[in-house]
Structure 1
Amino acid sequence: MTTSQDRPESGDPQPTRGDLVPPPAGEPTASGLLGQAIGGAAKRAGLDPAEDATTGHVVWRAMGGWRGIAESVLPGLVFVVLFTVTGQDLVLSLVASVGLAAVFTVIRLIQRSPAAAAFGGLVATGVAAALALFTGRGVDNFVPGLITNAAYGTGFLVSALVGWSLIGLAVGFLMNEGTAWRADRRKRRVFFWLAIAWAALFYVRLAVQLPLYLADQTAALGTLKLIMGLPLFAPMVAVTWLAVRALYPRRAEAPGES
């Protein structure tokens, strides 16, 4: 049970990164590893709350800048456009989509820039294309995306309901706090609703796209997938960033300090 000593008073400033205590010795190993994995991915994406960055800069880095946007959008866009204008030529549409993803990966390798995102996109595009070619149905090119939305949505929802928000685990790792955030009622509440919000995003995508898949509407499904991708992801990243920064203000921004 959380006592009054565990809860900060409403007028007290939240601790900054340097003030945080190490995670308790009894911290579950599974949660620590999960927090480290998610937090590490968030840090590589430029989502470290301890960094001095504007919200716009953080969102831009999370999307990967112009290159990340191109790698995320263009393969799917090429597939939808070619599938529509060629009278549903599945092979040509898939070859062009996978080929473009491969070009992005090769460019990153040549420039010796981080290729994990592009390589992951290439693998996902290739798997989706292989499934569509196997079944002969263009709409099956979007099955991995539907499964991903269902899995991510369920993961965020379950983590919130059991009190181990994936957002909280990631932030706890990034802020060197471990799972100490669970002793703070305010942080638990914020991390709960952030996880619920992310779960809702993935479930909304699934609710809109699944009927189109069942109706075999390939072009419409591909178009909506693009519309519900980065345009919804970016605002959610901004909201999450602002909420977390409110919980962990920089020392220069703490109340009573200049």
Structure 2
Amino acid sequence: MTVPEKPEPAVQPGAAQSGAVQSGAVQPASTQPAARPGPDQEPAAAQPTVAQLAEGYAAKAGLHRSGNGNIDVLKSAGGIQGIAESILPGLVFLVAFTITRELPLALTAALAVAAAFTVVRLVQRKPLTQALAGIAGVGVSAWLANTTGKAEDFYVPGFFTNFAYIVAMSISIAVRWPFAGLIFGFIRNEGLDWRKDPARVKAYQIGTWVIIGVLSLRLLVQVPLYFMGEPGFAALATTRLLMGAPLYILGIWVAWLLTRPAPAAAPATPTA
């Protein structure tokens, strides 16, 4: 005679949530949120690579490519408006001081022109980088000239800016990261692959020397005129205008031509 098995007691509602832990009972899933990693356990933010930094610099340099794959020199210089922004404040300063011989009035006129370009960009909803840089440069120049009372000191900050670029570009050549390669490489879709080819590195070093030559020529011509004092002011101001955007455009174009990669050789046709 078999003894019938005793049936299991039914699980009462809420028993699974009971504080007592019973053998064989299914434990409920924890309702507390998972612990978040501490500051030391947070994944480190990805650092930009050298290629990404170089590409970003090339974009910020303001260089543009035309439809045929060449550099658009005019657009890279900021277009007609950008060239006007770089030339007109200095031109207005030269004309106003030459006519009135009143330094504060000439400085105010130059600042007003720079500020007007900033307002125009605001109305056009264009990036303000170039306009703000221009008005900042004019502001520093005006402050220095007004402090010393010498009109020729309006051009002194430009000397230091040119010299800083010369030093930076010379260092880029020495460490085999020539400036021309960084700004032209991405326009040509070379990325940083040009650094693997010694011939391309050398070409971009030559292109960088061309740009350095343009900047050095400015100093060689303008610094002696500055030390002539007021008698050399008109010549200094005029050469500053002529050797500004126009000479920069010419230098960039020559550097672009000198750094062109050699055309790919045509595949040989098999002979019968």
1:92 matched to 2:110? The reply is: no
Secondary structure at the counterpart of residue 154 of structure 1 = helix
Q: Are the counterparts in 2 of residues 156 and 166 from structure 1 also a CA contact under 8 Å?
A: yes
Aligned to 1:108: 121
The alpha carbon displacement at 1:198 in A equals 0.8
Deviations 1:35-64 (A, max 9, x none): 23431223x431x4xx53475x71110222
The one-letter code matched in structure 1 to 2:81 is R
> Do residues 68 (structure 1) and 73 (structure 2) align?
no
Q: Give ranges in structure 1 of 5+ residues lacking alignment.
A: 1-27
> 1:36 is matched with which residue?
55
The aligned counterpart of 1:135 is 148
- Partner of residue 238, structure 1: 253
CA distance change for structure 1 residues 107 and 199 in 2, over 3 Å: closer, same or farther? same
Distance 2:238 2:160 in 1: 18
Pair member with larger Rg: 2
Report the equivalent of 2:63.
45
The aligned runs of 1:73-222 (5 Å cut-off) are 73-86=87-100, 88-173=101-186, 177-216=190-229, 217-222=232-237
Q: CA deviation at 1:177?
A: 5.0
Separation in structure 2 between the aligned mates of residue 186 and residue 103 of structure 1, nearest angstrom? 47
For residues 142 and 131 of structure 2, what CA distance do their matches in structure 1 show? 16
Query: Paired residue for 1:19?
Result: none
1:158 deviates by 2.2
Question: Which residue identity lines up with residue 58 of structure 1 in the other structure?
Answer: D
Deviation at 1:161, TM superposition (A): 2.7
Contact persistence 2:169–2:208 (CA under 8 A)? yes
Give the whole-Å Cα distance in 2 for the aligned partners of 1:157 and 1:29. 24
Name the residue aligned to 1:16: none
1:10 maps to: none
Any idea what SS the aligned residue of 1:247 has? coil
Distance 1:170 1:163 in 2: 14
Within 2, Cα distance between the matches of 1:130 and 1:138? 11
* Aligned-pair Cα RMSD in Å: 2.5
Q: Does 1:224 align with 2:245?
A: no
In the TM superposition, residue 162 of structure 1 has moved relative to its aligned partner by 2.9
TM-score (norm 1): 0.76
Give the distance between the partners of 2:179 and 2:88, measured in 1 at CA. Answer: 30
Counterpart of 1:67 in structure 2: which amino acid?
Answer: Q
**Which of the pair has the greater relative contact order for Cα pairs under 8 Å at 6+ separation?**
1
Are 1:31 and 1:169, in contact at CA under 8 Å, matched by a contact in 2?
no
1:235 match: secondary structure: helix
1:180, distance to aligned residue in structure 2 (A):
3.2
Structure 2 unaligned blocks of 5 or more: 1-46, 268-272
Summarize deviations over 1:150-177 as a string: whole Å, max 9, x none. 1111211221133221122334455665
